[in-house]
Amino acid sequence: MMLNGKTAVVTGGSRGIGLAIAKALLDAGAKVMITGRNQETLDKAAAELGVGASGFASDASNEADVQALADHAESLFGGVDILVNNAGINPYYKRAEHTELAEWQHIIDVNLTGVFLCTRAFGQQMLARGNGSIINITSVAAHTGLTRSAAYCAAKAGVEAMAKSLTKDWAARGVRVNNVAPGYVKTDLTAGLAANDTLRATIEARTPMARLAEPREMAGAVVFLASDAASYMSGATVAVDGGWIAT
């Protein structure tokens, strides 16, 4: 599962799961560009990651930003082998009947349209070279649903369906598209839930492994899917969820 000589872009790589994935890809031998919306934060994270890491500010939901990212990565690396669509948000925790259209749209823009925009921009480059691996960070939300998260669940399920469609279009042309579906992971995204004793206990009770994951526990599956060890895989979802989906 070594990635020596490979190049990777990890969206939302400045912290949390994306940062852990970037570190694992670097450890496996790849050069890695992380993205997010703040250049200063990215420069700091890239410096901490060390040799082979760089950061480029790009809002995944903004078409011009994504094209600028793809152009920059292409000129820096001379071709991107691995795209990890990790950037994601879930800022509203409310039932659908109380959800504003703008709130729905905000989540769809980043978590679904953002994945499409990045996949299209880097997919065009990968198809031209006849080689590439795209990995989407989805969620157990796509499979079992989560309360007060209709847009989030719809977006994540949409991304997994997109990977199946892209597999029909791209697999024979050398570009593989797979998903990693995490369960609950200790990051800023879940800090509010984890700090609430009742909510955290509910999550732990629902999870067969009875705990939240560390971000680094998501990274191994991504390295595997990025590597030649997964050369016959496309359209698949690897659940890294402490058993959540199985039960």
92, 152, 184, 232: the catalytic one is 152
The contact pattern for ligand NAP, residues 78-117, with x = CB under 6 A and - = no contact, is --------xxxx--------------------x-------
Taking CB under 6 A as the rule, does residue 72 contact ligand NAP?
no
Q: Helix or strand or coil: residue 3? A: coil
Taking CB under 6 A as the rule, does residue 70 contact ligand NAP?
no
User: Dihedrals φ, ψ of 56, to 5°?
Assistant: -145, 120
Cβ 96 to ligand NAP shortest distance, Å: 18
C-beta of residue 17 within 8 angstroms of C-beta of residue 91: no
Cβ distance to ligand NAP smaller for residue 174 or 243: 243
- In this structure, which amino acid lies at residue 198? T
Piece in contact with ligand NAP (CB under 6 A), picked from 5-13, 100-108, 120-128, 200-208: 5-13
The two tokens of residue 53 are: 């890491």
Name the pairing type of β-strands 31-36 and 237-240: unpaired
Taking CB under 6 A as the rule, does residue 216 contact ligand NAP?
no
Taking CB under 6 A as the rule, does residue 15 contact ligand NAP?
yes
Restricted to residues 22-41, the positions that interact with ligand NAP (CB under 6 A) are 35-38, 41
C-beta of residue 25 within 8 angstroms of C-beta of residue 223: yes
Taking CB under 6 A as the rule, does residue 242 contact ligand NAP?
no
Cβ distance to ligand NAP smaller for residue 41 or 171: 41
Task: Give catalytic status of residue 152 as yes or no.
Answer: yes
C-beta of residue 177 within 8 angstroms of C-beta of residue 147: no
Residue that the structure tokens 């984890």 belong to = 194
Spell out where the chain has E strands.
7-10, 31-36, 53-57, 82-85, 132-137, 175-182, 237-240
Nearest 5°: the CA angle 92, 95, 100 is 60
Cβ distance to ligand NAP smaller for residue 94 or 173: 94
Instruction: Determine the number of helices (DSSP H) and then strands (DSSP E) in the chain.
Output: 10, 7
What does the binding site for ligand NAP look like in residue numbers (CB under 6 A)? 11-18, 35-38, 41, 59-61, 86-89, 110, 137, 139, 182, 184-185, 187-190
Q: Which positions are annotated as active-site residues?
A: 152
